Amino acid sequence: MGAGASIPDTLSIDEVKTLAGDKFDHAVYDALPKGADGKITKEAFLKLAAPTPGDEPAPVSAPSPAATPAGGGTVIEVKMTELPLAVDKARAAGLTPLILDRSASHLLDTFHNYKADALLDAKMWTLKLAKKEIPQEEALEGLRSKLSYSMARGMDLVISCQSASPSFSSTLNGDVFPLEVFKDSGKALINDDSASKIITDDHAKELTSGMKMCNPEFKVQVSSHFGVDDIDDFLFAKGFGFEKVPREWFQILNIKHDEGTELLD
């Protein structure tokens, strides 16, 4: 499977908004040639999502070698039955699990829905923001609410990207949802300073006797429907959602499904 293989050959406007996030420009989209079905080609989408001159984000310093755990950014293939152990091993190595699921029925999403994890639907907030249904502040508060509750209660926060590249490097990050949520399975946030900024008054009152403190059991994992060959182009590439999040912070776990499992095109 070549780069971009999990992106369809043609895309509707909603699919474009989901993938492009805050890089979506309606005027540019309207000017693009479209097929009889009103969709644009994958090649046209890549031009649409590319950063425009003068609009490049500020450079971000890469983490020092000492701050990057060995094995960071590498890919490991695992079966669904092996996933819990693989997640634990990634966390023990100081990495954040980034789990790739190409099953057509989204088996990983179903698995997380049945578990007692906190599920953050990053695609939903990305799409609402791209469609201008809500302001940036409301989207950030939506992310913060899940993060705050998970930190205060000590839950496993699953950041579900699905087929989107959420704009965590631009509009969807700030004091209440910092990039450090992706570092060391969220352990970078287990400190008083982060807790005071992120945990809401309501969650502190409900869960921690009014004190803004992070439960040490708090942890993070990330899931995506992209394939291994696509994440550099559609997650970590310039102009996309994880541009400012070092790939080396992650242990990439690519689910190897049983023979006969229907996969995404």
- The confidence score (pLDDT) of residue 70 equals 62
Chain segment 101-117, per-residue pLDDT in tens? 999 999 999 998 887 67
Chain segment 152-179, per-residue pLDDT in tens? 999 999 999 999 999 999 999 999 999 9
CA distance 129 to 18: 9
Span 22-40, average pLDDT: 72
pLDDT at 149 over 90: yes
For residues 50 and 216, the model is more confident at 216
pLDDT at 27 over 70: no
- Whole-number average pLDDT of the chain: 86
For residues 230 and 61, the model is more confident at 230
pLDDT at 34 over 50: yes
- Choice among 16-20, 40-44, 108-112, 202-206 with the minimum mean pLDDT: 16-20
Span 134-141, average pLDDT: 96
